[in-house]
């Protein structure tokens, strides 16, 4: 793992009759191909108890592959970058914490710019982390 963001509590989008979500972003380095990464994410979701349900509805976990370097891929089962990333403050806020200068390979804008432009009106609140009282400069946390 190269970086992990703080956890953010966020209002639901699209399907609003549900509780708030917890979101974070993780940056990794891997030699695994994107489709295999996605397959492994789905296995993790299943092991953590994710069950089929309504799109955007309540779920135990939801893992998404947002970027894969500057790859642009559009296939029926996988789109990179994630197709709705630029409209989601709940994705952009944690991503901005760890990779503000990352450039979206299609939109040609930095993550920080996309976050500044997103206008969903949904609340995204950074949750205090266990190290905040001791070392506030640790964010973004890196390993």
Catalytic residue status for 59 = yes
Catalytic residue status for 62 = yes
Catalytic residue status for 42 = no
Catalytic residue among 33, 42, 64, 142: 64
Q: Are 56 and 84 in contact (CB under 8 A)?
A: no
Catalytic residue among 40, 59, 126, 141: 59
- 125-133 long-range contacts, Cβ below 8 Å, gap at least 24? 125/8, 125/9, 125/10, 126/6, 126/7, 126/8, 126/93, 127/6, 127/7, 127/8, 127/9, 127/22, 129/6, 129/7
Catalytic residue among 33, 40, 42, 62: 62
Active site residues: 50, 59, 62, 64
């Amino acid at each position: 793992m190269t970086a992990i963001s703080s956890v953010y509590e966020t209002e639901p989008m699209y399907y609003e009759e549900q509780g708030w979500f917890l979101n974070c972003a993780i940056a990794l380095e891997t030699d695994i191909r994107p489709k295999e990464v996605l397959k492994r994410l789905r296995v993790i979701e299943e092991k953590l108890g994710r069950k089929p349900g309504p799109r955007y509805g309540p779920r135990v976990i939801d893992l998404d592959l947002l970027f894969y370097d500057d790859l642009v891929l559009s296939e029926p089962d996988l789109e990179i970058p994630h197709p709705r990333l630029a409209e989601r403050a709940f994705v952009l806020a944690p991503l901005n914490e760890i990779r503000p200068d990352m450039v979206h390979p299609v939109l040609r804008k930095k993550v920080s710019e996309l976050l500044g432009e997103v206008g969903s009106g949904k609340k995204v609140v950074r949750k205090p982390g266990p190290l905040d009282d001791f070392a506030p400069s640790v964010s973004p946390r890196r390993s």
